[in-house]
Structure 1
Amino acid sequence: MQIVIHNKENNKYYMPAVQDDVIWELNRKGTPGKFTFKLLKDTLLEFTEGDTVQANYDGTNFFYGYIFSKKRDKNSLVDVTAYDQLRYLKNKDIYIFLNIKAGDAIKRIADDFQLQTGTIADTEYVIPKYRGSNDTLIDIIQNLLDMTTQNVGKIYVLYDNFGKLTLSDVEDLKVNLLLDNEAAEDYSYESSIDKDTYNRIKLYYDNKDEGKRDVWLSVDSANIKRWGVLQMTKSVNPKKAINFAEMADTLLKSHNRVKRTLSIQNAFGNLKIRAGSMFYINLDFGDVKLTKPIIVESVKHKFSNNLHLMDLTVRGDVITG
């Protein structure tokens, strides 16, 4: 593990003596990448909030971010917390977008807040209208991406790729990796229909011009017989979408299933695995045996004594968590 701190004021670079564990945490939605480590402070090392940190493990650059906090004890050990560029998307602002793709909106926001961008995927769907009123930038962006997913069925992931905001289709984040019982120390698996499971979708719009309520339904009768009626009812706005019958079908496809959650502890580490990555699992849970692709919802990379392990929360196919 090699960590380099750049002091912007004196334009000096430092390679500190890092103590104990180094942790890199990533989530697919709504949270910046977080990098924490502990170092030994000496008389030569000078750094402060806002200085940059970059990290390299086994020859691979994997984190570039900014110091946001440091805590020192009497033994001159300093706990450092740094975040990647997504931290600056916690700023709030007001945006009104008309006839714009989510990817183009991201470029505009990044330019307004002086953020560096890398490859931004073409998100295809043109959003007719969106207004974010004093919301965090990351929530505005996620709302735009969720609207895109509802209308085209594709999942997009926003992340920081070593100092550049990047937007990718999850299909482009596949990693050639198979994780089985031998590659993970432990896992926790749960199945439930108690939360976020629906077999009937009802979308409605109160059409004041015609004095009536327009309704669109998408129903799975077989699962209603199996589970009883589990209905999602949602108001929609014609200015934000076009085909509501198709939207209802897409929502049913997404929610009409047993919610299964899977977390994996102490799997062998792989720096290609980030929140939004796809890879294969081969695990037997008793009620279901899976050899399926999954999507990483969150990952914690742990580096200690030249050992790289990771904790994962995943979803995909029957893992809906």
Structure 2
Amino acid sequence: MNIEVLYEGTPLPVQSVTWSGDITQAARKLDVSLVNTTDGRTQARRIEHGKELRLLYDGRELFRGPVFAFDIDARGRMSVTAYDENTYLTRNQDTRIFRNMTASAIVKRLCADFGIPTGTIANTGYVMPKLILRDKSLWEMMITALTYTRKQTGRRYFITSREGRLQLLERKEQIVRWVLENGRNIIDASYAQSIEDMRTQVKVIGGDPDKKPIIAVVKDDALIKRFGIMQHLENVDPDMTASQVQQRAKQLLAELGTIDDTARVDALGNPDVTAGTAIYVRESMTGLVGGFYVSTDSHTFSGGTHRMSLTLSATDDLPVMEYEEPPEEKRKRRKGADDKVDLILNAKGIG
């Protein structure tokens, strides 16, 4: 294992490096510790905000991003923090109205407007009629559009950064390539299960709730038999058809009708195991056996060793942000419907 941290292309004499990520966060983070002096009196290298750090692992680039913070003490001991380029998604806010656009088109538009370099942008396909997003970060806007798309199509997309460029990729079924087991590469582990957030029945209401609502109820009889009725209620866009409302209910039950499994594993490091990766675990004491997904990861490189700390989940979660139509739009929609009814009644000489 050969670790190298480059500052503006020049290697730094690092003591330890922590490289981390979380599926719910826009950017991955790099924390570097070093002794930045050769004589004990002056800095060997001036570190500046906005300059680029790169992390190389046996010559392979794992991270690239600008410096956002540093501190140094009187002995020259220094820590530096950088984030990948996707950090700008959470550092820019705006109000936007998107009409007849796909989520991928929204991602491209926002990146172009705010100078964020892009790489591969998958075509999300589904055209959303209108999204009104007020006082939101670019990250919130993108995740809202992707959540909306997933609920309509069942297709899942995620945002990442590679070589300094934002990537929008489709999350497909993953093949497990990495196995963690005690006696081999696991250092420590813990495991927990919960049905706190489980729902065994879902009710979705669309259409006009005051006149002709569209209601879909789906249930999991096996779960109800084991755990009782626990219903999730959701009101959706009044313009959705009956089949769309039914599909939304089925999709929600698939997501909510699960037992939450969470686990934490400390193991010998593998740079390919990061947030979003599928792995297989065998740990006898906790009973951890089977496939899991990495929710958060933290890789530490120090003294020639590489260790990683992982939070695992039984479900392949992605960040979710629900779209809520602004109140004035709802009022406008309702008034438009009432006006249409008045016109029909007047034409028929009624009212």
Q: TM-score range by the shorter chain?
A: 0.7 to 0.9
Amino acid at match of 2:14: V
Q: In 1, distance between residues paired with 2:105 and 2:158?
A: 14
Given the two structures, how large is their TM-score scaled by the length of structure 1?
A: 0.87
Asked if 1 retains the 8 angstrom alpha-carbon contact of 2:104 and 2:124, the reply is: yes
Amino acid at match of 1:145: L
Amino acid at match of 1:227: F
SS of 1:243's partner is: helix
Asked if 2 retains the 8 angstrom alpha-carbon contact of 1:217 and 1:248, the reply is: yes
Q: In 1, distance between residues paired with 2:132 and 2:45?
A: 46
Percent identity of equivalent pairs: 28
- Tell me the CA shift for residue 279 of structure 1: 3.1
Say if 2:311 is the partner of 1:313: yes
Asked if 1 retains the 8 angstrom alpha-carbon contact of 2:276 and 2:316, the reply is: no
CA separation of 1:151 and 1:57: change in aligned 2, threshold 3 A: same
Q: Where does residue 262 of structure 2 map in the other structure? A: 261
Could you say what the CA RMSD is over the residues aligned between the two structures, in angstroms? 2.4
Q: Where does residue 78 of structure 1 map in the other structure? A: 78
Q: Where does residue 191 of structure 1 map in the other structure? A: 193
Q: In 1, distance between residues paired with 2:176 and 2:170?
A: 13
Q: Where does residue 169 of structure 1 map in the other structure? A: 170
Deviations 1:147-188 (A, max 9, x none): 222222233221111211112223276562222233211222
Amino acid at match of 1:179: L
Asked if 2 retains the 8 angstrom alpha-carbon contact of 1:65 and 1:85, the reply is: yes
Amino acid at match of 1:183: N
| Larger Rg, first or second structure (1 or 2) | 2
SS of 2:53's partner is: strand
What is the 5 A alignment of 1:1-321?
Answer: 1-6=3-8, 13-19=9-15, 21-42=16-37, 43-90=43-90, 91-171=92-172, 174=175, 176-181=177-182, 182-194=184-196, 196-205=197-206, 207=208, 211-238=211-238, 243-265=244-266, 267-283=267-283, 290-292=289-291, 294-316=292-314
Amino acid at match of 2:297: V
Alignment gaps of 5+ in structure 2: 38-42, 319-351
- Tell me the CA shift for residue 225 of structure 1: 2.4
- Tell me the CA shift for residue 295 of structure 1: 2.5
Given the two structures, how large is their TM-score scaled by the length of structure 2?
A: 0.80
Amino acid at match of 2:189: Y
Amino acid at match of 2:164: G
Q: In 1, distance between residues paired with 2:144 and 2:68?
A: 26
Q: In 2, distance between residues paired with 1:276 and 1:179?
A: 16
CA separation of 1:89 and 1:240: change in aligned 2, threshold 3 A: farther
Q: In 2, distance between residues paired with 1:45 and 1:172?
A: 46
Deviations 1:61-99 (A, max 9, x none): 111001001111111111111011111001111122222
Alignment gaps of 5+ in structure 1: 7-12
- Tell me the CA shift for residue 247 of structure 1: 1.1
- The structure that is strand-richer by fraction is 1
Deviations 1:295-321 (A, max 9, x none): 22111111111211111122235999x
Amino acid at match of 2:19: W
How many residues in Structure 1 have an aligned counterpart in Structure 2?
308
Amino acid at match of 2:17: V
Q: In 1, distance between residues paired with 2:66 and 2:180?
A: 32
